[in-house]
Amino acid sequence: MASNSYNPYENAQAQFDRVANIIGLDDATRSFLRQPMKEYHFTIPIKMDDGSTNVYNGYRIQHNDARGPAKGGIRFHPQETVDTIRALSMWMTWKCAVVDIPLGGGKGGIICDPRNMTDNEQERLCRGWVRKLAKDVGPLIDVPAPDVMTNSKHMLWMLDEFEQIHGGRFPGFITGKPVGMGGSLGRTEATGYGLIYTVREALKSLGMKIKGTSASIQGFGNVAQYAGRLYEELGGTVVSVCCWDNKDKKAYTFLKKNGLDIAALFKMTDSFGSIDKEQALDLGMEILPPDAWLEQDVDILMPSALENQITLENVDKISKQVLLIAEGANGPINTDADEKLRKSGMFVIPDFLANAGGVTCSYFEQVQSNANYYWEKEEVLRKLDYQMTTAYKAVEDTAKKNKLYMRDAAYVISINRVAQAVKMRGWV
């Protein structure tokens, strides 16, 4: 599991620096792009249901908006750190650029544990976060979205607070809203489906189809659930899933070598992605230690939980059978482990490409909200498939042409696009 010494912001900057050297980025642009443009740090006092008052630390960080309004999720997590949010805001800039949507990068968070809060307390927290930022976010400035342990109800509370403050209807202020209240059909599936679209294209380049392949997934939240569902529909077999158990406060791997039933797992999973162990045992699953998901003899690994999950301590546990790692999470492979995988020749689909389906569909939602005209689900998913496939092929072509690791190739495209926008605006 994650090491306490790991700093995701340093990881994000190290990835950036590597490619800045490759493309010969000038010093001024390099200095400008390797740190956020704006940071907001604040406290949110909240009246709890028992009459007491808790004070929470909240953040919004806007890395770069040269290509369009900042875009990025809001996390609720008890171990959230400002450096994590800084890193995620950087990755969002590159993510929007690699799939070529006109948005920049931002990220937000609150240090809290919603699993131990009532809905009323969570609502007050959401509204408090918006009140602190109401002048510095909006459809033309910075567009938030759900992230770890936030969902459509949180987004709607935030939208309502923003609209009450500004006295109007601004559905394009936030994405991930409920369908019927400005949300987009297909948004729930988007990140997981986008991940599988890139896996499908990568397997094509390896001369394979998804049908008949096997996979192991870390996480069973929104991304992993829908990635597993589509992967299974296309003929793949998920043999193990690792997820956090909210009761035991630890992670477990659920294994069934002849294949898990993803639909059955859906039914025994709570809103935070924890699988019911008793029901799992009844369906013949083995319950193993957390790193067991990494050790399976499968074709594909999909780390789709949190950052810093594949490290020097466990990277050697990866089976020699694994052909492909698709990063469903942000930063799941730390810099040292990534270097080892790079040297081994492992095919890695980098996070800010592999999981860009979510922000792509968020962009679609923003377009629909601003136009007050909504598309059918099939149209959303068709557009998503096209955008993700086009982006994947551009990265793969760059990698082959320049003999680059896929992560470096994705960064070359993203950094060049953002640097060009910054220079055209005359910022550096």
256: its two tokens: 């069934």
Encode pLDDT of 257-312 as tens digits.
999 999 999 888 887 778 888 888 888 999 999 999 999 999 999 999 988 899 99
Average pLDDT over every residue of 156-177: 97
Q: Same domain, yes or no, for 161 and 240?
A: no
Locus of tokens 């909200």: 369
Whether residues 129 and 206 fall in one domain: no
* pLDDT for 356: 96
Task: Report, as residue numbers or ranges, the catalytic residues.
Answer: 107
Domain extent, residue 125, equals 35-173
Domain stop point among 354, 374, 408: 354
Q: How many residues does the chain have?
A: 428
Lowest mean pLDDT among 31-35, 68-72, 275-279, 355-359: 275-279
Does any domain span residue 362?
A: no
26 assigned to some structural domain: no
Would you state the structure tokens that stand for residue 79, as one six-digit string?
A: 């171990």
What number is the average pLDDT over the span 103-132?
A: 97
What confidence score (pLDDT) does residue 422 get? 98
User: Would you say residue 93 lies in a domain?
Assistant: yes
How far is residue 423 from each of residues 30, 36, 95, 97, measured CA to CA in Å? 12, 17, 19, 15
Average per-residue pLDDT in the chain? 94
CA angle 287, 292, 293 (to 5 degrees): 100
Residues 236, 239, 241: CA angle, nearest 5 degrees: 110
Q: What would the DSSP string read from start to end of 273-298?
A: SPBPHHHHHHTT-EEE-GGGGGGS--
CA atoms within 13 A on the CB side of 109: 24
Q: What is the mean pLDDT of residues 180-187?
A: 94
* Domain total of the chain: 2
Residue 73 pLDDT > 90: yes
Q: What pLDDT is stored for residue 182 in this prediction? A: 94
Element (H, E) at 190: helix 187-205
Residues 150 and 286 in one domain: no
Question: Using an 8 Å Cβ cutoff, are 298 and 276 in contact?
Answer: no
pLDDT at 381: 97
Are 154 and 199 in the same domain?
no
% residues pLDDT > 90 (the chain): 88
pLDDT band at 241 (very low <50, low <70, confident <90, very high): very high
Domain harbouring 342, CATH code:
3.40.50.720
285 in the same domain as 232:
yes
Instruction: State which of 354, 374, 389 marks the end of a domain.
Output: 354
Q: Is the pLDDT confidence value at 245 over 90?
A: no
Question: Would you state the structure tokens that stand for residue 170, as one six-digit string?
Answer: 């601004």
Contacts for 46-50 with beta carbons within 8 Å, 24 or more apart?
A: 46/121, 46/124, 46/125, 46/128, 47/124, 48/121, 49/118, 49/120, 49/121
pLDDT of residue 423: 97
Q: How far is the CA of 182 from the CAs of 47, 96, 111, 125, 284, in angstroms?
A: 29, 21, 28, 22, 42
Residue 368 belongs to some domain of the structure: no
Burial degree of 167 (CB within 10 A; 0-12, 13-18, 19+): exposed
CATH of the domain at 120: 3.40.50.10860
Residue 56's pLDDT is what? 98
- Say if 420 falls within a structural domain: no
pLDDT score at 277: 86
Instruction: Give the separation between CA 6 and CA 4, rounded to whole angstroms.
Output: 6
Cα Rg of the chain, angstroms: 21
Of the candidates 180, 191, 173, the one whose C-alpha atom is nearest the C-alpha of residue 366 is 173
Examine residue 412 and state whether it is found in any structural domain, yes or no.
no
pLDDT band at residue 3, thresholds of 50, 70 and 90? very low
Inform me whether the pLDDT recorded for 101 exceeds 90: yes
Q: What is the pLDDT of residue 192?
A: 96
Most confident stretch, 159-168, 219-228, 247-256: 159-168
Q: Are residues 144 and 215 in the same domain?
A: no
DSSP 138: B
Confidence of residue 222 (pLDDT cuts 50, 70, 90): confident
More confident residue, 131 or 270: 131
Q: Is the pLDDT of residue 215 over 90?
A: yes
Question: Looking at the structure, do residues 348 and 206 belong to the same domain, yes or no?
Answer: yes
**Which residues are paired to 325 by β-bridges?**
301, 348
- On whether both 343 and 222 belong to a single domain, the answer is yes
- Structure-block tokens of residue 363: 């962009």
Q: Confidence band (pLDDT; 50, 70, 90) for 172?
A: very high
Q: With contact defined as beta carbons under 8 Å apart, do 224 and 192 qualify? A: yes
78's CB contacts (< 8 A; 6+ apart) are 111, 112, 113
Binned at pLDDT 50, 70 and 90, residue 1 comes out as very low
Say yes or no to pLDDT of 4 above 70.
no
User: φ and ψ at 106, to 5 degrees?
Assistant: -150, 170
Last residue of a domain, one of 173, 206, 240: 173
pLDDT band for 244, please (50, 70, 90 cuts): confident
| pTM assigned to the model | 0.91
Mean pLDDT of 143-166: 95
